């Protein structure tokens, strides 16, 4: 039996991971499940999967979790330290599917124990890619991509030499507003931004897809994970979301990865890697689909993409600043303080100000320093939002 833990078990990726694990109950021994405020789901799954421990991220939810788990034999825990402690428990495979920078500390801890980390939490690569990769290398741990584009690239690179790669093309659906008139974007509502044309995902990544902040993060994730140069990474709008990524080689060949827009593809690949096993996903009928469309992303519609290349050019810990400023701007959009289009403007202003913090941005990449950059960038973004509200 393989020992597995799922961080962010109550979310969209976490639930898809549980779906796969439930189908082969004898193959897995579940160590830890973590979640947030949805105690009923966390406790229900922990009992059903006979986890050793269930952890809620929120200290004040511990009494509820304890009550829900009473007499079940599943241990209850809460808070940031408990999340890190759960990541240190021996496991063969851990799914990192917490949303946001909060996924970084548990992920690092898992790697320090040599555990294979299936990484859906792209924010941790954007914040601290080098630190994650170096920690994995130092402890003989492996990082496997779960983001659909990066799983596709990873599969396209199997058996290939990274030096023979000319370019990596990641696709984007274009999000909820890909066909909206540009002048209507400032008035886009939270409900409109929270609905994705092709994928069923958590609210934050869905809004980030509408703004292309998600793709901007994925460009940086591509650079960090595969070690290619920024100019080798391209974004292509592909409304059908069936081609997830393409790898272009020096001989001109372009290898595309296709699959139904179902995250169980990428999760399953990471779960069974290095083997490929049968998965309960739809098989594409290309004759019925008939055509696939592609177009270049419009920079006026998606200013976030340019920011990703600015961040990579600046280097240091600008990735952590970018992610934090974006998270703060997203919080401010969700709470109704700023408009949809303000998110890119606020993030850009925060990044300009963070760029002036040279000593901090160029300091050694440690968890403490990443956290410092994260806090300051959130403050700068909050300030920039205040200024925009006036």
Q: What's the closest the beta carbon of residue 203 comes to ligand NAD, in angstroms?
A: 6
**Which residues on adjacent β-strands are paired with residue 116?**
93
13 binds ligand NAD (CB under 6 A): yes
Candidates 99-107, 181-189, 276-284, 363-371; binding stretch for ligand NAD (CB under 6 A): 99-107
- Give the rounded distance of the alpha carbon of 8 from its chain centre: 11
Q: Report residue 356: phi and psi, to 5°.
A: -75, -20
Nearer CB in complex with Mg ion: 147/327:
147
Q: Where are the strands (E) in 39-112, listed by range?
A: 53-56, 75-78, 93-96
* Residues between 228 and 287 with contacts to Mg ion, criterion CB under 5 A: none
Sheet holding 116-119, edge to edge: 75-78, 53-56, 28-35, 2-7, 93-96, 116-119, 143-145
Least distance to ligand NAD, CB of residue 335, Å: 16
Among 64, 109, 123, 147, binds Mg ion (CB under 5 A): 147
C-alpha dist (Å) from residue 107 to 2, 85, 193, 351: 19, 11, 29, 25
**Binds ligand NAD (CB under 6 A): choice among 44, 185, 199, 232:** 199
Task: Establish if 221 lies at the interface with Mg ion (CB under 5 A).
Answer: no
Residue 275 has, within 13 A of its CA and on its CB side, a CA count of 5
Count of residues that interact with Mg ion, criterion CB under 5 A: 3
Show Cβ contacts of residue 51 under 8 Å, excluding neighbours closer than 6 positions. Answer: 30, 31, 32, 33, 45, 74
Please report whether residue 55 would count as binding ligand NAD according to CB under 6 A. no
Which of 33, 201, 216, 233 lies at the binding interface for ligand NAD (CB under 6 A)? 201
CA dist 165 and 170 (Å) reads 14
Q: Is 348 in the site for Mg ion (CB under 5 A)?
A: no
Q: Is 220 in the site for ligand NAD (CB under 6 A)?
A: no
For position 216 contacting ligand NAD by CB under 6 A, the verdict is no
68, 74, 91, 98: which one binds ligand NAD (CB under 6 A): 98
> Is 35 a residue that touches ligand NAD (CB under 6 A)?
yes
Q: Pairing state of beta strands 254-258 and 233-237?
A: unpaired
Site for ligand NAD contains 370 (CB under 6 A): no
Cα separation, 121 vs 129, whole angstroms: 12
Question: Which of residues 17, 20, 32, 36 is near ligand NAD by CB under 6 A?
Answer: 36
- Minimum gap (Å) between residue 239 Cβ and ligand NAD: 17
Measured from the CB atom, is 84 or 157 closer to Mg ion? 157
Helix (H) or strand (E) holding 29: strand 28-35
16 is in an annotated binding site: no
Interface residue with ligand NAD among 4, 11, 269, 307 (CB under 6 A) is: 11
Which range, of 46-54, 133-141, 143-151, 382-390, touches Mg ion by CB under 5 A?
A: 143-151
d(CA 378, CA 326): 8
325 Cβ contact partners less than 8 Å away, ≥ 6 residues apart:
346, 347, 350, 351, 354, 377, 378, 380, 381
Q: Which of 147, 120, 119 is nearest to 133 (CA)?
A: 119
Contact range with Mg ion by CB under 5 A, out of 79-87, 145-153, 172-180, 306-314: 145-153
- Footprint (CB under 6 A) of ligand NAD, residues 104-133: 120-123
Query: Does residue 150 have a known ligand-binding role?
Result: no
224 is in an annotated binding site: no
| Phi/psi of residue 243, nearest 5 degrees | -90, 120
**DSSP per-residue string spanning 312-336:** HHH-TTHHHHHHHHHHHHHHHHHTT
Binding residue positions for Mn(2+) = 147, 149, 218
Q: Given the rule CB under 6 A, which residues bind ligand NAD?
A: 8-14, 35-36, 57, 97-100, 102, 120-123, 147, 199, 201-202, 204-205, 263
Q: Given the rule CB under 5 A, which residues bind Mg ion?
A: 147-149
């Amino acid at each position: 039996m393989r020992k597995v833990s799922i961080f962010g078990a109550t979310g969209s990726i976490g639930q898809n991971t549980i779906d796969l694990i439930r189908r082969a109950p004898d193959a897995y021994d579940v160590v830890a499940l973590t979640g947030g405020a949805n105690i009923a789901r966390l406790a229900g799954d922990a009992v059903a999967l006979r986890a050793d421990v269930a952890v809620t991220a929120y200290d004040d939810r511990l009494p509820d979790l304890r009550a829900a788990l009473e007499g079940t034999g599943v241990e209850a825990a809460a808070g940031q330290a408990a999340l890190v402690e759960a990541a240190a428990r021996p496991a063969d495979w851990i799914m990192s599917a917490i949303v946001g920078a909060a996924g970084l500390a548990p992920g690092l801890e898992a790697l320090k124990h040599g555990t294979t980390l299936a990484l859906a939490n792209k924010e941790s690569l954007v914040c601290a890619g080098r630190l994650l990769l170096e920690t994995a290398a130092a402890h003989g741990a492996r990082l496997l991509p779960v983001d659909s584009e990066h799983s596709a690239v990873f599969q396209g690179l199997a058996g290939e030499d990274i030096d023979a790669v000319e370019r990596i093309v990641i696709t984007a659906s274009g999000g909820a507003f890909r066909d909206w008139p540009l002048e209507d974007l400032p008035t886009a509502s939270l409900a409109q931004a929270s609905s994705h044309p092709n994928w069923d995902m958590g609210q934050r990544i869905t809004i980030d897809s509408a703004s292309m902040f998600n793709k901007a993060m994925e460009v940086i994730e591509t650079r960090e994970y595969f070690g290619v140069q920024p100019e080798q990474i391209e974004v292509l709008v592909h409304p059908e979301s069936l081609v997830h990524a393409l790898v272009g080689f020096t001989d001109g060949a372009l290898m595309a990865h296709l699959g139904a827009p179902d995250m169980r593809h990428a999760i399953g690949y990471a779960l069974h890697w290095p083997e490929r096993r049968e998965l309960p996903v739809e098989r594409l009928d290309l004759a019925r689909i008939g055509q696939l469309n592609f177009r270049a992303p419009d920079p006026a519609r998606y200013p976030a993409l340019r920011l990703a290349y600015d961040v990579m050019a600046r280097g240091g810990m600008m990735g952590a600043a970018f992610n934090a400023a974006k998270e703060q701007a997203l919080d401010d959009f969700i709470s109704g303080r700023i408009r949809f289009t303000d998110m890119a403007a606020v993030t850009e202003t925060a990044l300009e100000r963070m760029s002036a913090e040279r000593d901090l941005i160029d300091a050694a990449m440690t968890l403490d320093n990443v956290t410092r950059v994260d806090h300051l960038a959130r403050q700068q973004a909050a300030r920039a939002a205040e200024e925009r509200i006036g």
